[in-house]
A and B are shown apart, each in its own frame.
Chain A
Amino acid sequence: MREQSRGPAFMRILYLEDNPLLAFHVEQMIEDLGYVSAGSLSSFAELKEKFQSLQFDAVLVDIDLVDGPTGPDAAAWLQKRGIPAIFVTGQAQVAARHHDISLGFIEKPISPSDFAEKVELFRSRSTGS
């Protein structure tokens, strides 16, 4: 019951994206929905390096990052640490292949309604509803 009473503001979302314009836009969309943006990182390497100092509950992940197509590796790595991922990508087929390590994917260019609907998956998962 305690979980149910949590507002969306408790959900801190990190974004792995190598295009700063998109990162900027998505951080804003995250906050518009009432969640907290935990910032953006541009590579899997940076995620591993900064993981200990970051606080976040869920992650949005691009497939291609600065260190190559490492998005799925990052999602799998975070899954082992109990953090759910959703892909944000122009490569829908690649993302669809990785349904075992993600809750789904948001296609680029991002539609606000699709974004809101998919990000909601994080919350329904965390509250178990």
Chain B
Amino acid sequence: MPIVILLDRASKPELVRAELARSWPRARLIFYQRPVTAVELVSGVQSALLVRLRQRDVRDHIGQEMELRRELNHRVKNILASVTSIFEMTRRGATSLDAFTDDFRGRLRALEKVHSAVFHAAEGAVSIGDIATLTFEPYRLVGQERISFSGPLMNLGRESGTTLALCLHELTTNAIKYGALSQPEGRVTLRWSVIDGVQPELALEWKESEGPLVIEPARAGYGTRYVRSALAAVFGRLPTIAFEPDGLRCSAQGPLSRLSATDSSQPR
């Protein structure tokens, strides 16, 4: 704390100085002894004010940095928790080490790609079209033009976008392993639309066709269970996953406000 001290003509500067330095060891002391000109005093006060302002700047800066560090720590822990969950759940369903490796790598890549997309997007919002493009991109050789998607420009918040990307990844790999994309003529269409109303809603549908005859598996695998749980979390309602004979259909619908909301834990 800077302090400006105005000493009387008769006082002994050394004594006062020593006494004050003892009482306020960390203060920045500026002494003036009478007679003092107005200019001298004003310059002393101004310099003291400047010191104080700088101190406040530094304090605010440190405060912001601490806030950012806390936020970063929180995000890193969250990502590690996500990866741990992917690991545990992949391990649980794996039939061999090779199968585990392929599935785990694919899921981590999907997570990494959507993270980059969200990071580069303005204000952490990413469009459904972008999510579809980056999720289907590794499978273009396999899928050729067999995966098509269409819908209006629609931005999702970071968390919703990340989850949707992971869901599309699961649906795509499932379609390649067991569904429409396991046969050369099979196709997948992803469509989304906005349903107007007092509270507008987003509807999204994944539909497979011209694949092998669909038989509902006796026990749902990681992909199906994850898609059901994750879409319920994102849309606020359970999705419909129907093993229709001509191809799997997965549809979800929920309030737009919920899907486009940006993460509240973002630094403000």
Given A40-B233, A42-B233, A64-B74, residue A22 in contact with residue B82 (CB < 8 A) = yes
Are A20 and B229 interface neighbours, CB within 8 A?
A: yes
| Least distance between A83 CB and chain B CB atoms (Å) | 21
Are A90 and B264 interface neighbours, CB within 8 A?
A: no
Are A90 and B77 interface neighbours, CB within 8 A?
A: yes
Q: Contact partner of A19 among B73, B78, B226, B261, CB < 8 A? A: B78
* Number of inter-chain CB pairs below 8 Å: 72
Are A68 and B265 interface neighbours, CB within 8 A?
A: yes
Is there a chain B Cβ closer than 8 Å to A121's Cβ?
no
The CA-CA distance from A42 to B78 in the complex, in Å, is 14
Is there a chain A Cβ closer than 8 Å to B45's Cβ?
no
Is there a chain B Cβ closer than 8 Å to A110's Cβ?
yes
Are B80 and A109 interface neighbours, CB within 8 A?
A: yes
Is there a chain A Cβ closer than 8 Å to B133's Cβ?
no
Contacts of A110 in B (CB 8 A): 81, 84
Are B81 and A24 interface neighbours, CB within 8 A?
A: no
Are B81 and A66 interface neighbours, CB within 8 A?
A: no
| Least distance between A32 CB and chain B CB atoms (Å) | 9
Given A19-B82, A66-B264, A90-B81, residue A24 in contact with residue B230 (CB < 8 A) = yes
Interface SS of chain B: helix
Are A21 and B82 interface neighbours, CB within 8 A?
A: yes
Name which of A19, A23, A40 has the most chain B CB atoms within 10 A of its CB. A19
Given A28-B89, A90-B81, A109-B84, residue A23 in contact with residue B264 (CB < 8 A) = no
Contacts of B163 in A (CB 8 A): 20-21
Residues 103-121 of chain A, each 1 if its beta carbon lies under 8 Å from chain B, else 0: 0000011101000000000
Are B85 and A27 interface neighbours, CB within 8 A?
A: no
Are A18 and B159 interface neighbours, CB within 8 A?
A: yes
Contacts of A109 in B (CB 8 A): 77, 80-81, 84
List the A residue with the shortest CB-CB distance to B167. A20
- Chain A residues close to B by CB (< 8 Å): 18-25, 27-28, 39-40, 42, 46, 64, 66-69, 90-91, 108-110, 112
Q: Please name 12 further chain A to chain B contacts, defined as beta carbons within 8 Å, in addition to the given A20-B230, A39-B232, A110-B81, sorted by A numbering.
A: A18-B159, A19-B78, A20-B233, A28-B89, A40-B233, A42-B233, A46-B236, A64-B74, A66-B263, A68-B264, A108-B78, A109-B81
